[in-house]
A and B are shown apart, each in its own frame.
Chain A
């Protein structure tokens, strides 16, 4: 009897402890997502501007059939892929140096150097790049500026999300025992061979973890695009325009579903490849 009572009380304590986070997850997090999905199937009355709560696939039909939206989707996808690939290429040697070459002291400072930009406001950093990339700006007077546009968007997004790629790869390398690298060298493997044969395969989960950040953050971005993108439009801008000027919330919701669907497909592909089960 005493045991039963004790168990019951512990259950209550557990329930009390978890109720707040569960409420948040259920109502605020999943609830908002559900409303988003639901409203994507509604429309707006062209005259009154009021939301018509009737199920229709019109919004999605528009996205798929109209070339503008297809182009915006492909452009966003291209930018997200480019940013992710550049981040991987930059992060790998950087993280490797931090985890395996640098002295503990240098490593310490490098981690701080990578984390500090994250403390600064996103807007400030984006505007800093606007100044950098301006005609007759600092970059222009040294090597020439690509000007505002798609290329500038890729540069700035890469700059913004690079820490999110470096940190998981760095953590992955820290977990990688030095003896594996030594074993490869011992068996005749030069640096390149060791990197391709041992380091890279073991870092796949870390790279995927980082890519989920860089990919999804790039896919949904609209502020950087507005600041340095010139006339470039990405999915986020279309959402923003439909929420604001066009006042078509259902269509904005439908557009917002596009990156969500792309991310779900990406995660499913990662899972299917079995890359995350290797370790």
Chain B
């Protein structure tokens, strides 16, 4: 069996009376693009800081490549971090920023410059070495931070919401680039984000955090198609929950069920309801439908045909049986 790149066991962290991390066991494989997804305050960033060594856990252990590092300071751990605010040194030029880690490890000057230039070229900033960080845009700074971490060839790269400060266009572009870079260098990426799209697009596996615990770990598809709890279903995508009486009427039995918005069609038969909201969003339109059975469903339709339902229209919703997810169970109905 291969040793995981990161192994967390019984990890807990309290700040005073607040338990930020409430018992986490997790293995992250070598070379994996792993995302920690959750709302703010769910403990994902704290877990990242425990892996990096900026904080010490209240209980539990952190192992990197089979070696326990729980009590080691950050400078003795073979991981590097890309910070949310990038944390570039303002008094150093871009190339000096990238060289910092090599300089600390006493890599000879010539070799150091060479590697730093390669790293800058890898993030397409070859000509920016002489600049100061403050003379760079947000996206450029982000790439400098990436180069500064990658130049040290760590076993694991930790990224703390690195795309959070970028605008949508740049964000999408960086998502693709990050994924490419990760494939090229082949090291483990641990990526913290609160953006479910980001986590689903980029990751090999996703851990969904809820109140200091992991609610579910799995591939993006597993987490999206088979959420383990109503929380996961709601946080990863729109949940469209059917419970109680609504579940009995619409699905035909008791339980908690979910149907993803894109799996529903507005048709001539199925569960009847009233359109309460129509939201046009470019390629798609979202309809909010209040079912007579007592649940509120969101339906997403591609804008391919004219003559859409209007607010107040009576409609009927249909979906295929296989798309009904029973939460906490297997896909079934």
Contacts and interface: CB of A to CB of B under 8 A. Distances in A.
B partners with A: yes
Interface of A: 177, 179-180, 182-190, 193, 197-198, 201-202, 278-279
B101 interface: yes
Contacts of B80: 186-187
A256 B86 CA distance: 50
B237 interface: no
Complex A-B, nearest 6 residue pairs according to Cβ-Cβ distance, in ascending order: A187-B101, A179-B87, A183-B87, A185-B74, A188-B104, A201-B91
B89 A183 contact: yes
B101 A188 contact: yes
Given A180-B89, A184-B100, A198-B89, 15 more contacts: A177-B85, A179-B87, A182-B81, A183-B88, A184-B104, A185-B73, A185-B74, A185-B75, A187-B80, A187-B148, A187-B149, A189-B104, A197-B100, A202-B91, A278-B90
A182 B104 contact: no
Interface SS of B by simple majority = loop
A180 B75 contact: no
Nearest to B73: A185
Contacts of A193: 104
A177 B87 contact: yes
Given A177-B85, A179-B83, A193-B104, A186 B74 contact: yes
Interface residues of B, number: 24
Contacts of B83: 179, 182-183
Contacts, number: 66
Interface in B126-161: 148-149, 152
A179 B82 CA distance: 10
Contacts of B2: none
Contacts of A177: 85, 87
A277 to B, nearest CB: 11
A97 to B, nearest CB: 19
B280 interface: no
Interface in B39-65: 52-54
